[in-house]
Amino acid sequence: MMVRPYTRDILIGNPWIDEIIIDDPDHAHRGPTGFLKQIRKLRTGTFDTALMLLPTMRIAWMLFLAGIPRRIGVGHTIYQTLTFTRSVSRNQYIPLRHETDYCLDMAEAIGVPVKTNRTSIFIMDEERACARSMLNFETDRPRIGIHPGNGHSAPNWSPERYGDLAYQLQKQYKAQIVVTGDANEKTLAKRIQARTSEPVVSMAGQLSLRQLIAVINELDVLVSSSTGPMHLAGALGVPTVSLFCPLSARSPQRWRPLGDHSSILLPPNGECATCDHGPMCDLSDISVDMALNAIEEQLSDCPIENQ
């Protein structure tokens, strides 16, 4: 697997991957020198096939110049034509098909039967122990994670609405609330805390990606909008309650988590009042009570076990 540096941690420990190759065009592999370095690296692998999940001009030329004979990507760009890259067409594009299914089309294109679109992340025992030590949870209380940010990439609740949810979870379930986020989202955790009567555990800006994965793995439910940690939870088998917009480009049919235990919340009357605001839509028609009911359902389906 060739990935950017920031996604490497998702693949660590995966038994189906022989090697993780880092491509860092902004730093270590920047410019012509870095580009040629990557070509030489790929040539040493003597690969016969390359599947481009996100075909870019840089990658298309890199794989072509590395001499990989069978290269498959999505779409019909000029650089794919110039590099003789085989295309899996999206001309018959179905907006409400899950994104993973489009990726798996490339596996079928080389004769690999696709039986599932499930995803997995693998965690080491010492990482689990470290996460439990950081959280110091009582095992008989529900552990509810809230990830209030998403980099303005999808519609989302306000931090205050998440705070109201956290207050009700503490009041009704004596839940222990963990707020996650990056260093730029510490203020979101503070705004959530301002709406609650008991302290929340804020991990915003404190975790590496591997640590975040391990912390999510210890939760009973993760609540968020359509964002990366939601997909991490799904891959870990952690129940999710996810806020979505019904518009096609943001639809849960395309971007839902792939775990077995997921609740999708949509505005009950279709598009909410702010849907035309794009990523800034606040999903105000999804009520706190709707989220509470979904969380209760997930807690009932996946009862808390002493660990």
Q: pLDDT tens-digit profile of 18-62?
A: 999 999 999 999 999 999 999 999 999 999 999 998 889 999 999
pTM of the model: 0.91
pLDDT at 178 over 80: yes
278: left (phi over 0), alpha (psi -120 to 50) or beta: left
Homologous superfamily, domain 125-301? Glycogen Phosphorylase B; (3.40.50.2000)
Mention every residue, 6+ apart, whose C-beta is less than 8 A from residue 72: 49, 50, 51, 52, 85, 86, 87, 88, 106, 109, 110
State the amino acid at position 149 in one-letter form.
G
Spatial separation of the C-alpha atoms in residues 277 and 190, rounded to whole Å = 25
Spatial separation of the C-alpha atoms in residues 138 and 222, rounded to whole Å = 17
Q: pLDDT tens-digit profile of 112-170?
A: 998 888 899 999 999 999 999 999 866 688 999 999 998 877 889 999 999 999 999 99
- Positions of CATH 3.40.50.2000 in the chain: 125-301
Tokens of 224: 């968020």
CB 99 within 8 A of CB 72: no
Tokens of 70: 């069978």
Which CB contacts under 8 angstroms, 24+ apart, belong to 247-250?
Answer: 247/271, 247/275, 248/95, 248/96, 249/95, 250/154, 250/155, 250/226
CB 60 within 8 A of CB 79: yes
Tokens of 157: 């609740």
CA-based nearest residue to 12, from 105, 115, 126, 102: 126
CA-based nearest residue to 66, from 81, 82, 44, 51: 44
Q: pLDDT tens-digit profile of 51-91?
A: 998 889 999 999 999 999 999 998 788 999 999 999 887 65
Phi, psi of 210 (to 5 degrees): -65, -40
What is the band of 302 on the pLDDT scale with cuts at 50, 70, 90? Answer: confident
pLDDT at 270: 77
Residues written for the chain:
307
pLDDT at 235 over 90: yes
pLDDT at 92: 59
CB 226 within 8 A of CB 244: yes
- CB-count burial class (<10 Å; 0-12, 13-18, 19+) for 6: exposed
Alpha-carbon distances of 282 from 43, 75, 276, rounded to whole Å: 48, 33, 10
